[in-house]
């Protein structure tokens, strides 16, 4: 068993005990005192599995520690009607970030993952946090999941869209848009894999694009400066809300903990598919994460990523 805290280096300890014929023996073992950590800045919805309710659970299931900051605190999803609650004021978000810094936690953060924004003025607060975290840990990365819309429809205000497209996205180290959001980022209509590849290349940074329509279903494209990978799964009748949040969290969690590019893509894609299948079987409108948590790190479905030949 590995005991973990947040103080840094590995040490030797003699705390493990086993019992043999009534005698307690001390056994020396390695105590890991450094765990990979992600700061997740997303929506918090009490009655739905979206945003941080999805991301934190999924990444923790992968063995990644998650610091959660909410951009909204809502009772239910806005598409159900008046959600209750509201967006977290930018000043409150900034104050919470200051609290993390005051506890000396910036240097322990390996990645910042931002998702749905509650209001446009949260964007500069997030960018300031990223800058401070990178100053404390130069190896830290910033991952932006745009969360602007899907299926040709924008579901945030024009102000929030501008804050993400022209504020957060250009400063991100990685981007994880869906096909529609990739179109917004590049002013292109994404109608298949070939166009998605061209659009992703325009961004000149690692990009994971989800929900690309294919002959058999949907696919996810991973594009980096040196490689391209494509992974697809069969078509399903529908998908609960939050699947994009789940995919980005699983991919980031796997990469942060050390999974190779193709393995992270395959594992995240397969796990999302399995969770959707179980949720549909239970006729659930939401992702059934607790009931399907066994597949988050060890999916039943393991689609093979196809390496694509790079083009100039």
pLDDT digits (tens, 9 = 90+) for 66-107: 999 999 999 988 888 888 899 999 999 999 999 999 999 999
Q: Are 50 and 98 in a shared domain?
A: yes
d(CA 244, CA 59): 14
Phi, psi of 152 (to 5 degrees): 80, 10
Q: Are 227 and 300 in a shared domain?
A: yes
The predicted pLDDT at position 131 comes to 99
Q: Are 15 and 84 in a shared domain?
A: no
Task: State the chain's mean pLDDT as an integer.
Answer: 90
We report the CATH number of the domain holding residue 121 as: 3.40.1190.20
Paired sense of beta strands 85-87 and 65-74, if any: antiparallel
Q: Are 76 and 153 in a shared domain?
A: yes
Q: Are 40 and 152 in a shared domain?
A: yes
Q: Are 112 and 4 in a shared domain?
A: no
Q: Are 145 and 3 in a shared domain?
A: no
The predicted pLDDT at position 11 comes to 37
Give the sheet arrangement for strand 141-144, strand by strand. 85-87, 65-74, 37-45, 111-114, 141-144, 174-175, 207-213, 217-223, 228-234, 306-308
d(CA 86, CA 49): 17
Provide the domain limits for residue 75: 35-308
Paired sense of beta strands 11-20 and 23-31, if any: antiparallel
Q: Are 26 and 102 in a shared domain?
A: no
Q: Are 3 and 90 in a shared domain?
A: no
CA dihedral 37, 39, 43, 45 (to 10 degrees): 40
Q: What predicted TM-score, i.e. pTM, was given to this entire model? A: 0.88
Counting as low any pLDDT under 50, the low residues of the chain are: 1-32
The predicted pLDDT at position 243 comes to 97
CA dihedral 269, 288, 293, 243 (to 10 degrees): 20
Q: Are 178 and 266 in a shared domain?
A: yes
The predicted pLDDT at position 77 comes to 85
Question: Side-chain half-sphere of 72: how many Cα atoms within 13 Å?
Answer: 25
Whether the CB-CB separation of 287 and 275 falls below 8 Å is answered with yes
Q: Which of 145, 168, 184 is nearest to 50 (CA)?
A: 145
The predicted pLDDT at position 31 comes to 37
Total structural domains in the chain? 2
Q: Are 54 and 165 in a shared domain?
A: yes
Query: Which class for 235: exposed (0-12), middle (13-18), buried (19 or more C-beta within 10 A)?
Result: exposed
Q: Are 55 and 137 in a shared domain?
A: yes
């Amino acid at each position: 068993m590995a005991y973990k805290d947040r103080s840094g280096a590995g040490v030797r300890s003699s705390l493990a005990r086993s019992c043999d014929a009534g005698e307690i023996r001390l056994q020396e073992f390695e105590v890991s005192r450094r765990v990979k950590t992600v700061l997740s800045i997303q929506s918090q919805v009490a009655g739905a599995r979206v945003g941080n309710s999805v991301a934190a659970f999924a990444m923790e299931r992968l063995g990644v520690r998650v610091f959660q900051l909410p951009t909204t605190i809502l009772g239910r999803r806005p598409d159900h009607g008046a959600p209750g609650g509201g967006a977290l004021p930018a000043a409150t978000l900034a104050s919470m970030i200051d609290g993390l810094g005051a506890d000396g936690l910036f240097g322990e953060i390996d990645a910042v993952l931002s998702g749905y924004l509650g209001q446009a003025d949260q964007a500069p607060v997030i960018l300031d946090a990223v800058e401070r975290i990178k100053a404390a840990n130069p190896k830290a990365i910033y991952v932006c999941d745009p969360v602007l819309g899907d299926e040709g429809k924008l579901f945030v205000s024009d102000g929030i869209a501008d804050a993400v497209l022209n504020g957060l996205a250009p400063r991100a180290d990685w981007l994880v848009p869906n096909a529609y959001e990739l179109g917004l980022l590049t002013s292109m209509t994404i109608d298949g894999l070939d166009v998605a590849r061209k659009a992703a290349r325009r961004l000149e940074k690692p990009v994971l694009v989800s929900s690309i329509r294919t002959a058999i279903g949907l696919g996810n494209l991973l594009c980096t400066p040196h490689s391209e990978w494509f992974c697809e799964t069969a078509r399903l009748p529908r998908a609960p809300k939050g699947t994009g949040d789940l995919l980005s969290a699983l991919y980031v969690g796997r990469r942060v903990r050390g999974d190779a590019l193709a393995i992270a893509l395959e594992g995240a894609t397969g796990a999302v598919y399995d969770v959707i299948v179980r949720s549909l079987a239970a006729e659930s409108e939401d992702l059934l994460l607790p009931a399907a948590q066994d597949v988050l790190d060890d999916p039943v479905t393991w689609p093979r990523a196809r390496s694509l030949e790079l083009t100039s």
